[in-house]
Amino acid sequence: MAFQKDFLWGGATAANQLEGAWNVDGKGISCSDICTGGTHTTPKRITPELEKDTFYPSHEAIDFYHHYKEDIALFAEMGFKVYRFSIAWTRIFPTGEEESPNEKGLQFYDDVIDECLKYNIEPLVTISHYELPFHLTQKYNGWSSRELIDLYVKYCKVLFTRFKGKVKYWLTFNEINSATGPFGGFLSQGILNEGTKDFMHQVDIPQLRFQGLHHQFIASAKAVKLAHQIDPNNKVGCMILFATMYPLTCNPKDVLACQEMNHVKNWFCGDIQVRGQYPGYMKRYFKENGIEIKAEKEDAQILKQGCVDFYTFSYYMSGCSTADKTKEQAEGNLIGGVSNPYLEASDWGWQIDPEGLRFTLNEIYDRYQIPIMIVENGLGAYDKVEEDGSIHDDYRIEYLRKHIEQMKEATDDGVDLIGYTPWGCIDLVSASTGEMAKRYGFIYVDKHDDGTGNLSRIKKQSFYWYKDVISSNGQKL
């Protein structure tokens, strides 16, 4: 048994983490542009007023804006069949509220897409990936306001129309379920409550986040419908941060705690986007947590008419759930839970679990029976450039190899897995910490946490390895 013949091998990135050129050609300020650098132990800060001598990693990032030809040529050299990237909303509508789009922004993505197509690389576009126009935070407190639905749909319409016939695969929101926890409040929804200073300690109002999710569900459903109307060939997917939870013990109390956590954190958003209605278990969760969702009469029908065509998710780690509140939370695991004693962790505390990927793929497919793509996976690690200029990232190869082996198992289990785009196929800025030092790429970029570096690109050992993986369609690992 093997991967499908036309399996989509590739890589994934996001605009705010690699493009740079943050204020070039009419681009507006996004929420990520006001985040400073940070480290594993020092959280990045959120600064509504830009500070003069502070380093903002998104402002130059790895300057993909001016290197995209070189970078896409490298992706093509690895044999990519698909490239997942995001469009910066602020390049198209700098504040989110303009009447007409910024032509220079559209032209840039036309160029990126054409460059992909030149090499027969299928573009997979994330419409919104962690970078709301900051103006929409200031004016509306982000997605907590219903106003954002129309603004988002207007933005989608421009993209679907402009890139019709060139882009077939779309994702409406990156890791939409990140907003089931406090860290997604600002990152994903642009909600900035008074008193918030840094990314790790946001002043959190769950009511706003869950109301914001409702607005995003409606926006996503409207976008799916519109995408199909504009071009029936369009395929639109959801994108879920999947951090699989196991019960810490077989104590039924732990099993139930785990089920509830999986429901709320991992399943809730996908259940709505795939099935078009709120799952029953959320009614109880909302009631017990004092959350009231304000919905309009037409919302139920909008959700029903906007079910996604395929399911995508990111997978980096798993965790455990327990009913015992005194147990310590697992480090680095953004959706909570406690550490699994059977697993090792990355340098950033993310617990590595390849078999969990097989388990997760089966769980998702059992539930929905629609095509699945893994659109993020990978190891954030420190890389060292040797004196001869080579980079031996065998730890990354090992991580990826073990995950691909489990993808193969899942395929043999009958899961309809259609693609795989490992995260940060070229080194880029970390979303959680703002670091460059946390590298994921097959391609190294000479850029460092103090802002220095000549931006040159170097192929890592994993570059050559992944090239073989792709050319053998996953047989040569």
Give the type of residue at 361. L
Q: Does 175 bind ligand BG6 (CB under 6 A)?
A: yes
Sign of CA dihedral 244, 197, 43, 16: positive
Name, in order, each residue with C-beta under 8 angstroms of 26's C-beta and a sequence gap of 6 or more: 91, 94, 102, 104, 105
What is the per-residue burial (b if ≥16 Cβ within 10 Å, else e) of 285-298?
bbeeeeeebebeee
Q: Does 346 bind ligand BG6 (CB under 6 A)?
A: no
Name, in order, each residue with C-beta under 8 angstroms of 166's C-beta and a sequence gap of 6 or more: 113, 114, 117, 123
Residue span binding ligand BG6 (CB under 6 A) among the ranges 134-142, 293-301, 352-360, 423-431: 423-431
Q: Does 423 bind ligand BG6 (CB under 6 A)?
A: yes
User: Which of 196/433 has CB closer to ligand BG6?
Assistant: 433
Residue span binding ligand BG6 (CB under 6 A) among the ranges 3-11, 51-59, 90-98, 424-432: 424-432
- Which of these is catalytic: 376, 387, 398, 405? 376
Which token pair is 411? 């395929």
Q: Does 339 bind ligand BG6 (CB under 6 A)?
A: no
- DSSP conformation letters of 106-173: HHHHHHHHHHHHHTTPEEEEES-SS--BHHHHHHH-GGGSTHHHHHHHHHHHHHHHHTTTT--EEESS
Say if CB 162 and CB 110 are below 8 A apart. Answer: yes
User: Which of 39/138 has CB closer to ligand BG6?
Assistant: 39
Using CB under 6 A, pick the residue from 58, 145, 174, 339 that binds ligand BG6.
Answer: 174
- DSSP conformation letters of 155-219: HHHHHHHHTTTT--EEESSTTGGGGGSTTHHHHHH----TT--BTTS----HHHHHHHHHHHHHH
| Residues between 306 and 335 that touch ligand BG6 (CB under 6 A) | 314
Q: Report the nearest approach of ligand BG6 to the CB of residue 319 (Å).
A: 14
- Which of these is catalytic: 19, 60, 115, 175? 175
Q: Does 376 bind ligand BG6 (CB under 6 A)?
A: yes
Name residue 237's beta-bridge partners: 171, 310
Q: Does 427 bind ligand BG6 (CB under 6 A)?
A: no
User: Which of 276/354 has CB closer to ligand BG6?
Assistant: 354
Q: Does 185 bind ligand BG6 (CB under 6 A)?
A: no
Say if CB 173 and CB 239 are below 8 A apart. Answer: yes
Phi, psi of 337 (to 5 degrees): 95, 175
**Residue 376 a catalytic site member:** yes
Q: Report the nearest approach of ligand BG6 to the CB of residue 358 (Å).
A: 20
**Chain centroid to CA 403:** 18
Q: Which residue is nearest to ligand BG6 (CB)?
A: 432
Q: Does 14 bind ligand BG6 (CB under 6 A)?
A: yes
Q: Does 145 bind ligand BG6 (CB under 6 A)?
A: no
User: Which of 142/434 has CB closer to ligand BG6?
Assistant: 434
Q: Does 380 bind ligand BG6 (CB under 6 A)?
A: yes
User: Which of 59/327 has CB closer to ligand BG6?
Assistant: 59
Q: How many residues bind ligand BG6 (CB under 6 A)?
A: 15
Q: Does 130 bind ligand BG6 (CB under 6 A)?
A: yes
Q: Report the nearest approach of ligand BG6 to the CB of residue 290 (Å).
A: 28
Q: Does 240 bind ligand BG6 (CB under 6 A)?
A: no
User: Which of 396/408 has CB closer to ligand BG6?
Assistant: 396
Q: Does 273 bind ligand BG6 (CB under 6 A)?
A: no
Burial class for 40, CB neighbours closer than 10 Å (0-12, 13-18, 19+): middle
Name, in order, each residue with C-beta under 8 angstroms of 90's C-beta and a sequence gap of 6 or more: 27, 28, 29, 30, 33, 96, 131, 133, 134
User: Which of 172/432 has CB closer to ligand BG6?
Assistant: 432
Using CB under 6 A, pick the residue from 27, 263, 403, 438 that binds ligand BG6.
Answer: 438
Name, in order, each residue with C-beta under 8 angstroms of 335's C-beta and a sequence gap of 6 or more: 180, 181, 241, 243, 265, 266, 319
Q: Which residues bind ligand BG6 (CB under 6 A)?
A: 14, 17, 130, 174-175, 241, 314, 376, 380, 423, 430-433, 438
Q: Which residues are known to be catalytic?
A: 175, 376
